[in-house]
Structure 1
Amino acid sequence: MEKRLENKVIVLAGGTRGVGRAAAIEFARQGAKVVIGDLDEEAAMRVIRLMRTYGSDGHFVYVDLREIKYCKILFDEAYKKFGKIDGFYMYSGVTPVSPLDSCDEETYDLVMGVNFKGCFFCCQQAIKYMRMNGGGSIVFTGSAHAWGGQKDRTAYACSKGALRILMEHIAHQYATEHIRCNYFTLGWTATDGEVALRLSQGESEAELRQRAAGILPMGRMPEYADYLPGLVYLFSDESSMMTGSTFRMTAGEYI
């Protein structure tokens, strides 16, 4: 089997759950070495052990994205371990209920700290190291909420909208250095966080999936596996001329 990410080193913020975990494993299967920046070392090591069964390797770095120092540590450790950085995938994010008329400062700071501030300063480090390697690929986890969003996700929508602008800025300003950036818009997915939220609201995962199937134009929620080919493409040399793009996989959803 041809490995489309052979010898690449990808830094992944949030690789222990959901799409991030699935992506880490698929990147390894495609030949990449993956550095996981996360809070949960035990979960990260389980992922890394699985990655090694594909003949690849991984590395864990403890990261709290709300503190800039950890963004620097993540990339310094990645470079120290593998000697280069080819890609950065920003998967980490939080999605609490946060209507504009009732969102408190603590919730706002959490959402913007993890979803935007952490990504901003990780990109600062990614660009530093990608320059040494003649370029690289940065991918943000986007959301249809970035175009306005639902009423109970105001802070989240703002954070994803800010990421979209940051993506366009990086794409425009760093293309001459062969550093590219794209916005990978995920659809409504039954992630651990989404399921936990709905359970807290009295809705089971089965009920959630049934409700979503009636709303989404394509008739079902996207699964983790649906996203993997797109992610591999964005980090592979096949997409070397693609930057500044919004890449949607949302089952037809547009909020």
Structure 2
Amino acid sequence: MKNGRLTGKIVLITGAGSGIGKSTALLFAREGAEVIVNDVNETSGNETVGEIVEAGGAAAFAHADLTNAEMVEKMVERLMDNYGRIDVLFNNAGVSNVGALHEVELEQWDRIMNVNVKGVFLPSKYVLPGMMARKSGNIINMSSCIAEIGLARRAAYSATKGAVLALTKAMQVDYAQYGIRVNALLPGTIMTPFVEDYLRTSYDDPEAAIASLKTRQLSGDIGRPEDVAQAALFLASDESKFMMGSPLYIDGGVVFGKNA
């Protein structure tokens, strides 16, 4: 799109092979961005790229395990060589798990911390110097409304998303002087492939489980990846230029309201 909301922007989206990341990549491309699709899964990442290109957009795949510093650093170096800059970094990649604290295995704890927190730290660490040199940049971090509420058996996931929200605010203080904005998305329950799989494998009656989930949202419904993608588009665009260090809720009314 020649006159899209992101025309001329070079955007790196992590975890863009499926779910929210994929929906965001497709939307950003329709709005004129040149999208760099990162995912640890090459097949799904290239599928996202293929859909963008088939629709007339511009995209490329960048493989990296976001928990591996060397891989992330080399990925960013290649992108800077090819594109000269990254205007928007969307730290979207993440994993979840289920369990109260005493139920979480050490390997599970380490994995979710590595992917959800280190996976924000490393891309930001290597992208930021280029943004600082240009005195321009935009970083969006994927937190969750669970960072601000208690939810049963989500101990490790909650810890990571609280860390991402706190990190977002700290980053904004440090990098505002370089013209860099850093904001966070706080979705509620979104019907991603992970949630679909969790409902299918954890409940005898997935439809009843979905109905129960809907009752904790004022909207009476579960969100879709496209709902979060639209919020990410707002943060990535110049329309949100006065938002700095802000949490943006896309939760159907979970945090600030409760049905009687």
TM-score band (shorter)? over 0.9
- Does residue 185 of structure 2 align to residue 181 of structure 1? no
Distance between the aligned counterparts of 2:126 and 2:47, measured in 1? Answer: 26
Give 1:157's aligned residue.
158
**1:195 deviation in Å?**
1.2
Gaps of 5+ in 1: none
Confirm or deny: 8 A CA contact 1:98 1:156 kept in the other structure: no
Retained in 2: the 8 A contact 1:11–1:78? no
Give the equivalent residue in structure 2 for 1:131: 132
**In 1, are the aligned partners of 2:91 and 2:119 still within 8 Å (CA)?**
no
TM-score where L is the length of structure 1:
0.94
Name the CA distance, whole Å, in 2 between partners of 1:206 and 1:20. 25
The alignment partner of 1:157 has SS state of: helix
1:3 aligns with 2:1: no
Aligned mates of 1:203, 1:251 — CA distance in 2: 26
Rounded to whole Å, the distance in 2 between the matches of 1:34 and 1:239 is 20
Corresponding position of 1:104: 105
The residue aligned with 1:39 is 40
Q: Which residue identity lines up with residue 168 of structure 1 in the other structure? A: K
Hey, what's the Cα distance between the residues in 2 that align with 1:39 and 1:27? 20
Cα deviation digits, residues 103-138 of structure 1 (max 9, x gap): 111001000000001211211112112123331111
Q: Which residue of 1 aligns with 2:87?
A: 86
How many Å apart are 1:148 and its aligned residue? 4.6
SS at match of 2:102: coil
Amino acid corresponding to residue 158 of structure 2 in structure 1: A
Normalised to the residue count of structure 2, the TM-score between the two structures is 0.92
Query: Could you say which residue in structure 2 is the equivalent of 1:57?
Result: 58
1:59 is paired with a residue of what secondary structure? strand
CA distance in 2, matches of 1:204, 1:46: 32
Give, in angstroms, the shift of residue 241 of structure 1: 2.2
Return the offset for 1:54: 4.1
Partners of 2:169 and 2:245 within 8 A in 1: yes
Query: Can you give the 5+ residue segments of structure 2 that lack an aligned partner in the other structure?
Result: none
In structure 2, the residue matched to 1:243 is 244
1:34, CA displacement in angstroms? 1.2
Shift, 1:141, TM fit: 1.2
CA-based RMSD of the aligned residues comes to: 1.7
Aligned equivalent of 2:19: 18
- Cα 1:54–1:84, aligned 2, differ >3 Å: closer, same or farther? farther
User: Quick one: distance in 2 between partners of 1:168 and 1:86?
Assistant: 19
2:72 and 2:60 mapped to 1: Cα distance?
15
Q: Is the 8 A contact 1:139 1:181 kept in 2?
A: yes
**Residues 103 and 83 from structure 1, CA distance in 2 versus in 1: closer, same or farther, beyond 3 angstroms?**
same
Q: What is the distance in 2 between the residues matched to 1:99 and 1:137?
A: 35
- Kindly tell me the number of residue pairs found equivalent between the two proteins: 255
Does the CA-based 8 Å contact 1:195-1:204 persist in structure 2?
Answer: no
- Return 47-56 or 187-196, whichever deviates more: 47-56
Q: Which amino acid aligns with 1:56?
A: G
Distance 2:215 2:151 in 1: 17
Structure 2 contact 24–230 (Cα < 8 Å) conserved: no
- After TM superposition, give the deviation of residue 151 of structure 1 in Å: 3.0
Call closer, same or farther: CA 1:203–1:27 in 2, change over 3 Å: farther
